Structure 1
Amino acid sequence: MQDEDSRAHPFPRSREDAQAAQQMPDTPQTRAPAHRLAFADTDFLLREELRPVRLQLELLKPQLILDERGVESTVVMFGGARIPAPENKDEARTKTLKELSRYYEQAYRFATIMTERSLKTYGREFVICTGGGPGVMEAGNKGATDAGGQSIGLGIVLPHEQAPNAYVTPDLCFNFHYFAIRKMHFLMRARAVTVFPGGFGTLDELFETLTLIQTGRMTPVPLLLFGKEFWDRIIDWQALADAGTIGESDLQLFRYVETADEAVEIIDNFDPTPCD
């Protein structure tokens, strides 16, 4: 009599077939690439023609794991990898980076507050999500860990290898090849997005979020920029509105904050109604 598991799966499992394939006699036929099971053939999966499949897999793997872990919403923290912790600020290579170290502290405090809130939902809501690297990302994951909660790290393969920081929850530490899929995962569950001073990567993530909200492709969420002086120095938002390339109301898609407490207050009182 069949047990319940075998009735639910009347055919051999893929894992079982993969193991069986490894036990085949060693012959010219079994050694040939054509004989490998397609799903176990790395050379085949990495072919140029298989890029659509790899894109799908990279979207699906984190999605399934996050669903299995019960993560329903996230609080995203974008920001520079080069911003030092206060105790390391004297090692910063520029005066500006040294000054920006204060935002490491605010990122840490913000992540701590939001994780304490997340714990009240058994870790389902308001889960801290960073890029998993150093700087502001490390501060976010560290704050979540020290608060006793879990946090997500969405890493990316770069020419100069960047290991995940030590505070990302191991089971939620992902690695991406495609920037586009990684950015989708940043925003798919986002209840709020915070953006700390950073470089090209941070700017890319900021403008992606702004564009999605502006065009109505994403439900409005609190979009909070830490450090008004920094952002006003590198981006002349009003000039874009004056030129007519964005609308005046688009300047209301984001808010400036300086402290974690300010950010939390805005999130708590956020009105998702789009601006007129």
Structure 2
Amino acid sequence: MTLDAKADGLKQRNFPTAQQEAVVAQPPSRYDGPGSAYQLAFTDQDFLLREELRPIRMQLELLKPELLMQELGIEATIVMFGSARIPAPDDARAALEAARKDGTELLVRRAEAALSMSHYYDEARRFAGLVTRRSAQLDKPVYVVTGGGPGIMEAGNRGADEVGGRSIGLNIVLPHEQAPNPYITPELCFQFHYFGLRKMHFLMRSVALVCFPGGFGTLDELFEALTLMQTGKSRKRPVLLFGRDFWSRLINFDLLVETGMISPGDVNLFRFVETAEEAWQVLDEEYGFEKGA
């Protein structure tokens, strides 16, 4: 026996892995029916889904994305928030044409509104491509992460995919069907049950947050991030709001300051941008991306 072979013996496992046990442990026929408790605990879905096992399930939702992203060397992300209801311009134009043929005034108005918002899809798509392409040569590439759904989320993953990059999708199980968009890198497409843990993963590796127009979900994600930075629970990092007109009409930030609801300096936690290039310039000024490329 060679010295190498002897040394290998020192590294051998003393016990089989859980994966090996899960394959081997086939129950005898008597205990293979409904109600049998014979199944290994970690392969028993009914057991894992018990109400009392919620803390374990929450831990698993924290660990699974964390461990897989660590293994893939993902350390820095740019989070893209925004509405699932903002369509691609081509889809918006087709929907408007169909609505006009239908002749229903309400459908036409909604289709016109969707078309007017669809330029944000293009900006999100261009921004994600810009981030992915420009950061590819950095020692630590920056990865786009979205909520994994349609609309602005799809645009973000699509922009990264179109320039040959990887991107992350953190999808959530909802009462209505919510399938991941087709542009997420498969090994980085995650599904969540708990909103809170999903939002933790949005922020854990993020170096910036970019927020496009959206509804309740987008506002929830944006304001939780701002609150964490405002209170010092999270480090400050760039928060970019695409579309000054939309955000200024939606939220009266001046009123919040005038009534003492926030401090005057709190409005410096974010800034408005209009284009993908402007957003990238802000991030480059903050981190010197172009110098490191």
TM-score, length of structure 2 as denominator length? 0.87
Aligned residue for 2:67, secondary structure, equals helix
Aligned residue for 2:37, secondary structure, equals helix
Distance in 2 (alpha carbons) for counterparts of 1:5 and 1:171 = 34
Aligned residue for 2:145, secondary structure, equals strand
Please, which of 189, 212, 222 is the counterpart of residue 228 of structure 2? 212
Distance in 1 (alpha carbons) for counterparts of 2:31 and 2:62 = 37
Please, which of 116, 130, 133 is the counterpart of residue 116 of structure 1? 133
Cα distance, 1:125 vs. partner? 2.4
**4+ long deviations beyond 4 Å:** 28-32
Distance in 1 (alpha carbons) for counterparts of 2:32 and 2:180 = 42
2:37 is aligned to 34
- Between Structure 1 and Structure 2, whose CA radius of gyration is higher? 2
Aligned residue for 1:193, secondary structure, equals strand
Please, which of 52, 59, 63 is the counterpart of residue 55 of structure 2? 52
User: Given the superposition, is the C-alpha separation of residues 2 and 47 from structure 1 closer, same or farther in structure 2, using an over 3 Å criterion?
Assistant: farther
Cα distance, 1:32 vs. partner? 4.8
Distance in 1 (alpha carbons) for counterparts of 2:7 and 2:29 = 34
1:105 is aligned to 122
User: Given the superposition, is the C-alpha separation of residues 65 and 97 from structure 1 closer, same or farther in structure 2, using an over 3 Å criterion?
Assistant: same
8 Å CA contact retained: 1:75, 1:190: yes
Distance in 2 (alpha carbons) for counterparts of 1:205 and 1:269 = 25
Aligned residue for 1:35, secondary structure, equals coil
Distance in 2 (alpha carbons) for counterparts of 1:86 and 1:3 = 63
Aligned residue for 2:191, secondary structure, equals strand
Matched, 1:86 2:89: yes
Please, which of 178, 181, 197 is the counterpart of residue 165 of structure 1? 181
Distance in 2 (alpha carbons) for counterparts of 1:216 and 1:55 = 25
2:215 is aligned to 199
Q: Which amino acid aligns with 2:138?
A: T
Structure 1 unaligned spans of 5+: 272-276
Matched, 1:229 2:245: yes
Aligned ranges for residues 125-164 of structure 1 at < 5 Å?
125-164=141-180
1:270 is aligned to 286
Distance in 1 (alpha carbons) for counterparts of 2:155 and 2:255 = 33
TM-score, length of structure 1 as denominator length? 0.92
Q: Among all aligned residue pairs of Structure 1 and Structure 2, give the percentage whose two residues are the same amino acid.
A: 54
1:248 is aligned to 264
Cα distance, 1:25 vs. partner? 2.0
8 Å CA contact retained: 1:117, 1:126: no
Q: Which amino acid aligns with 1:157?
A: V
8 Å CA contact retained: 2:122, 2:155: yes
Cα distance, 1:94 vs. partner? 4.4
Cα distance, 1:99 vs. partner? 1.0
Distance in 2 (alpha carbons) for counterparts of 1:84 and 1:261 = 21
Q: Deviations over 1:218-265 (max 9, x none)?
A: 111110000111111111111111111111100110000110111111
8 Å CA contact retained: 2:257, 2:264: yes
Cα distance, 1:21 vs. partner? 1.5
8 Å CA contact retained: 2:172, 2:195: yes
8 Å CA contact retained: 1:226, 1:259: yes
Distance in 1 (alpha carbons) for counterparts of 2:12 and 2:247 = 56
Q: Deviations over 1:13-56 (max 9, x none)?
A: 1112112221x321248865322211111111111111000000
Distance in 2 (alpha carbons) for counterparts of 1:231 and 1:61 = 35
The worse-fitting range, judged by mean Cα deviation, of 172-181 and 98-107 is: 98-107
1:274 is aligned to none
